[in-house]
Amino acid sequence: MNNYKRILVLMLVGVMLTCTVLLSSCGGGNAEYQVKVVDVQGNACTEGVIVKFLQNDSQVAMQPVNKDGIVKKELPKSDYSIELVFTNSSVNSHYDKESATLSADKTSTEIVLMNGVSGEPTSLYANSPVSGENKEYQAYNIDVGSTYASLEAKERNYFLFVPKESGTYEFSVDSKDKVIGYYGSPYFVQSESVAEVKDNKFTISVSGSNIGSEGGGTAVFVIGVDGIESASDCIISIARIGDAKKSVADEPWTEYNTICEIKPFSLELSDGESLTYVNIEGNTEDYVFVKNEADGYYHLGTVDGPIVYVHLGEGAPYVSLQTVIMGDGLAGGAPIRKYFYDGDKFVKKEDYTDILTTYFDNMDQELYIYPLNDDLIYIIKNGCEGWWTESSPDYIFDGCNSEIGWMFACCYVE
The pLDDT tens digits for 148-173 are 888 888 889 999 999 988 899 999 99
pLDDT value of position 222: 96
Between strands 134-142 and 118-127, the pairing is: antiparallel
Q: What is the pTM of this model?
A: 0.49
> Residues 47, 54: contact at Cβ < 8 Å?
no
> Is the per-residue pLDDT at 231 higher than 70?
no
CA–CA distance, 69 with 76 (Å, rounded to integer): 23
The pLDDT tens digits for 268-291 are 999 999 999 999 999 999 999 999
* Domains: count for the chain: 3
Torsion of CA 116, 117, 118, 123, to 10 degrees: -170
**Domain region containing 37:** 29-113
Is there a single domain that holds both residue 378 and residue 320?
Answer: yes
The pLDDT tens digits for 363-409 are 999 999 999 999 999 999 999 999 999 999 899 999 999 999 999 99
Q: Is residue 12 domain-resident?
A: no
- Domain end residue (candidates: 89, 113, 137): 113
- Domain end residue (candidates: 113, 132, 149): 113
> Residues 308, 374: contact at Cβ < 8 Å?
no
